[in-house]
């Protein structure tokens, strides 16, 4: 056995093999080219898998008509804007109007909050744990007796009640009530107005924009 090993010569360790394979200073690295046995013409003419461009979009931010689009089609920009502004209300008119009547609110304001919070996605979950269409935090939905925060009817009803609570607390000032809905009433009281949080200021601006659109 000893004679056989000697005949084979010294055995390189793994570290030595890696070192010898690595490019030396001033030496161009060796490139490995992937080769295929398939002829070029066959590769160029064979059918390719179609890409579904809707998969990368948040369809809950669109109208339900977006589901009717065939695989591989994109929404035009005008249609996207039209659907994003007003289309998502469809299917929830009853829940919106019932919650508005129960809380003495305008259904357009409730819809605007939903659009800004979740884009009418009942399954929405934020990194902070807010859930459902009106993005209720656990303490909020438990306090309001919600059993399933992802149920649209329960979520809209509870979220509307919470929004009405903020309106009453801040003298029916819509801006402050929306800020309290987003950042909490404590933040509004602390800063005696709209908190200097970019997220909250953006939220208030979006809700008011959607509210004006829905009123039209």
Read off the pLDDT of residues 188-207 as tens digits, 9 standing for 90 and up. Answer: 999 999 999 999 999 999 99
Is the C-alpha dihedral spanning 19, 24, 27, 28 positive or negative? positive
Q: Could you tell me which residue, 209 or 84, shows the higher pLDDT?
A: 209
d(CA 39, CA 41): 6
The architecture of the domain spanning 91-215 is: Orthogonal Bundle (1.10)
pLDDT at 194: 96
d(CA 174, CA 106): 12
CATH 1.10.530.10 placement within the chain: 91-215
Is the C-alpha dihedral spanning 204, 208, 209, 210 positive or negative? positive
Q: What's the token pair of residue 108?
A: 């357009």
Q: What is the mean pLDDT of residues 127-145?
A: 91
Measured CA angle at 119 (ends 117, 120), to 5 deg? 100
Q: Which residues are catalytic?
A: 117
Asked whether the whole model's pTM tops 0.75, one would answer no
| Phi–psi pair at 131, nearest 5 degrees | -130, 155
The chain-wide mean pLDDT, for the chain, equals 76
pLDDT, tens only, 79-120:
555 555 444 677 789 999 999 999 999 999 999 999 999 888
pLDDT at 139 exceeding the cut of 80: yes
pLDDT at 161 exceeding the cut of 90: yes
In the three-class reduction of DSSP (H, G, I as helix; E, B as strand; rest coil), residue 131 is classed as strand
Question: CB neighbours (10 Å) of residue 91?
Answer: 12
Place of tokens 């003495």: 104
Q: How far is CA 38 from the centre of its chain?
A: 42
């Amino acid at each position: 056995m000893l004679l056989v090993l000697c005949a084979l010569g010294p055995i390189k360790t793994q570290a030595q093999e890696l070192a010898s394979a690595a490019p030396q200073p001033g030496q161009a690295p060796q490139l490995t080219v992937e080769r295929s046995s398939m002829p070029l013409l066959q590769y160029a003419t064979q059918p390719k898998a179609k890409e579904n461009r809707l998969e990368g979009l948040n369809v809950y931010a669109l109208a339900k008509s977006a589901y009717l689009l065939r695989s591989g089609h994109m929404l035009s920009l005008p249609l996207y804007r039209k659907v994003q502004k007003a289309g998502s209300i469809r299917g929830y008119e009853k829940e919106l109007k019932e919650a508005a009547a129960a809380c003495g609110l305008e259904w357009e304001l409730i819809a605007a909050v939903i659009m800004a919070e979740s884009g009418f996605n009942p399954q929405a979950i934020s990194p902070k744990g807010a859930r459902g269409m009106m993005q209720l935090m656990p303490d909020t939905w438990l306090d309001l007796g919600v059993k399933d925060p992802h149920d649209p009817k329960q979520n809209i009803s509870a979220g509307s009640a919470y929004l009405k609570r903020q309106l009453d607390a801040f003298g029916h000032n819509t801006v402050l009530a929306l800020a309290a809905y987003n950042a909490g009433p404590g933040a509004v009281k602390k800063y005696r107005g709209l908190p200097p949080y970019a997220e909250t200021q953006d939220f208030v601006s979006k809700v008011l924009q959607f509210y004006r659109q829905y009123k039209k």
